[in-house]
């Protein structure tokens, strides 16, 4: 499939994901969002709450892709170190940002804005804030790096805020053709030939298990609607023919 000029990666930061205690839901949300607005999500990494690991991953990913989305590690507790790591990755200072502090004061009385809560207003120099309508503590964007909360409801609100400001490419269109219980091994040869003949689209076959056995799907993806439609028609016709032979 022709690649979009606009690419992205996700960096999920958090011991709790690697231990299994928390099951990530943000990757799927951001993946759907990128696909919907025409950004190619090209890589995801999950790393622990360790500064060196986070800094290395931020620099590797921000240099490779148009955008890097991070989730997690921007709360008030000692294990929230993402903002400091982003500042270190960019080689900029980090301090309490008056705009971020003002946002926190919408939720907290001045006397409740203790040192821990003020950590959530520490923003790398030169970053733009991303509003958090849920609990006020903002995310931020610096360069091509978009730093968001780990709590899914807050992450989603931040993504909705920053999304419309991002550069996007042509959207990927996709068509799903149900192969049902027709075995992948039966249609794989025909599918490979169709994939070869339609080089501008990407064709994948995705088995899943149901209580009644496999339920297979073929997905055709591409940026050219006519090319996608042509490949879909060829896949449908091929599956139809095999179903007749298989029945």
Q: What residue ranges bind a copy of itself (CB under 8 A)?
A: 12, 15-24, 27-28, 31-35, 41-49, 53, 75-79, 108, 112, 114-117, 119-120, 134-135, 151-154, 172, 174, 184-186, 188-189, 191-192, 195-196, 202-209, 214, 219, 221
For residues 153 and 18, give the distance between their C-alpha atoms in angstroms, rounded to a whole number.
Answer: 20
In whole angstroms, the minimum distance from the beta carbon of 198 to a copy of itself comes to: 12
φ, ψ dihedrals at 69, nearest 5°: -100, 130
**Which of residues 33 and 90 has its CB atom nearest to a copy of itself in the complex?**
33
For residues 92 and 54, give the distance between their C-alpha atoms in angstroms, rounded to a whole number.
Answer: 16
In whole angstroms, the minimum distance from the beta carbon of 193 to a copy of itself comes to: 9
Contact call for residues 5 and 21 (beta carbons, < 8 A) = no
In whole angstroms, the minimum distance from the beta carbon of 196 to a copy of itself comes to: 8
**Which of residues 88 and 216 has its CB atom nearest to a copy of itself in the complex?**
216
In whole angstroms, the minimum distance from the beta carbon of 242 to a copy of itself comes to: 12
**Which of residues 198 and 230 has its CB atom nearest to a copy of itself in the complex?**
198
**Which of residues 42 and 243 has its CB atom nearest to a copy of itself in the complex?**
42
Contact call for residues 8 and 42 (beta carbons, < 8 A) = yes
Contact call for residues 188 and 205 (beta carbons, < 8 A) = yes
**Tokens 């997905």 correspond to what residue?**
219
In whole angstroms, the minimum distance from the beta carbon of 126 to a copy of itself comes to: 26
Residues whose CB falls within 8 Å of the CB of residue 136, separated by 6 or more in sequence, listed in order: 103, 104, 106, 107, 108
**Which of residues 126 and 189 has its CB atom nearest to a copy of itself in the complex?**
189
In whole angstroms, the minimum distance from the beta carbon of 191 to a copy of itself comes to: 6
**Which of residues 39 and 89 has its CB atom nearest to a copy of itself in the complex?**
39
Q: What H or E segment, with its residue span, contains residue 54?
A: helix 51-64
**Which of residues 34 and 142 has its CB atom nearest to a copy of itself in the complex?**
34
Return the DSSP state at 6: -
In whole angstroms, the minimum distance from the beta carbon of 147 to a copy of itself comes to: 17
Contact call for residues 46 and 34 (beta carbons, < 8 A) = no
Report the C-alpha dihedral over residues 74, 86, 130, 141, rounded to 10 degrees.
-160
Contact call for residues 6 and 39 (beta carbons, < 8 A) = yes
């Amino acid at each position: 499939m022709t690649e979009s000029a606009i690419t992205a990666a996700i960096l999920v930061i958090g011991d709790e994901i690697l231990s299994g205690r928390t099951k990530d839901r943000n990757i799927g949300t951001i993946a759907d969002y990128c696909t919907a607005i025409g950004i190619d999500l090209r890589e995801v990494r999950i790393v622990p709450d360790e500064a060196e690991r986070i800094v290395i991953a931020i620099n590797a990913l921000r240099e490779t892709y148009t955008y890097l989305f991070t989730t997690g590690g921007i709360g008030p507790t000692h294990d929230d170190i993402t903002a400091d790591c982003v500042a270190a990755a960019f080689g900029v200072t980090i301090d309490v940002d008056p705009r971020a502090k003002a946002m926190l004061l919408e939720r907290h009385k001045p006397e409740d804005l203790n040192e821990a809560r003020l950590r959530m207003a520490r923003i790398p120099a030169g970053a733009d804030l991303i509003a958090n309508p849920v609990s006020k503590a903002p995310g931020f964007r610096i360069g091509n790096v978009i730093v968001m909360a780990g709590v899914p409801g807050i992450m989603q609100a931040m993504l909705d805020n920053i999304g419309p400001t991002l550069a996007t490419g042509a959207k990927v269109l996709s068509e799903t053709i149900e192969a049902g219980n027709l075995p992948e091994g039966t249609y794989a040869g025909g599918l490979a030939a169709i994939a070869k003949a339609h080089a501008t689209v990407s064709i994948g076959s995705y088995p899943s298990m149901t209580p009644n056995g496999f339920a297979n799907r073929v997905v055709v993806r591409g940026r050219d609607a006519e090319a996608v439609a042509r490949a879909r028609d060829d896949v449908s016709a091929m599956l139809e023919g095999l179903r007749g032979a298989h029945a």
